Chains A and B, each alone.
Chain A
Amino acid sequence: GENVEQHPSTLSVQEGDSAVIKCTYSDSASNYFPWYKQELGKRPQLIIDIRSNVGEKKDQRIAVTLNKTAKHFSLHITETQPEDSAVYFCAASRGHGSGNTGKLIFGQGTTLQVKP
């Protein structure tokens, strides 16, 4: 079935360094790839997303890259700050319509710790 693999499961960086989280998806029909951030004890919130017709998207210190051929996408956080510490989830979806389910398939999550 549909599957999303996320690595690493934990990541520790020094404040100011960059962090990269990688995901691989199995369903070649996936065309929407969001990233969610979940702080301790709080609900997941969308931080950035990308559609399959775009190879890269940037929003201030965060960026996402997509390689459809390799079925691989990554989250890049630059100039990390302690408030970036959280669990990050990637996800993949086909969207909805034409018999597609539109469900989000989530990766296993990455716990990012940014040390001051």
Chain B
Amino acid sequence: EADIYQTPRYLVIGTGKKITLECSQTMGHDKMYWYQQDPGMELHLIHYSYGVNSTEKGDLSSESTVSRIRTEHFPLTLESARPSHTSQYLCASMQGDYNEQFFGPGTRLTVL
């Protein structure tokens, strides 16, 4: 089934750990996005990509990095997690322009 997947769904880690949040979509979309969202609060764009080997920083400053080596895969990496990184991270994808952004189920990250 065409969808957008995120793993893990929940992650609790200690300060200083390196983590990678996975995002994959099977819809063949060219554009992909990462948002940070505290529950029920505003969506903040932290990274986006228009296609393979294209990545841009979003409006919210983030210490994370992303890569887009394959169309369907857009992982987000935190080299050294801190308690301030505790939040929900939502991945999304879209085809073309003026179309719906489809969101993944999210990863809820807690850094102790």
Contacts and interface: CB of A to CB of B under 8 A. Distances in A.
Interface stretch (A16-24, A58-66, A99-107): A99-107
Contacts of B90: 43-44
B45 A104 contact: yes
A interface residue count range (under 10 / 10 to 19 / 20 to 34 / 35 or more): 20 to 34
B103 A32 contact: no
Interface residues of B, number: 22
Contact of B45 (A38, A49, A89, A103): A103
Interface string B4-48: 000000000000000000000000000101000000111101001
Counting from the closest, the 10 A-B pairs by CB-CB distance are: A43-B103, A46-B100, A96-B97, A95-B97, A106-B43, A108-B42, A32-B98, A44-B103, A87-B40, A95-B98
Interface of B: 31, 33, 40-43, 45, 48, 50, 56, 58-59, 90, 96-98, 100-101, 103-106
Interface of A: 1-2, 32, 34, 38, 40, 42-46, 49, 51, 87, 89, 93, 95-97, 101-109, 111
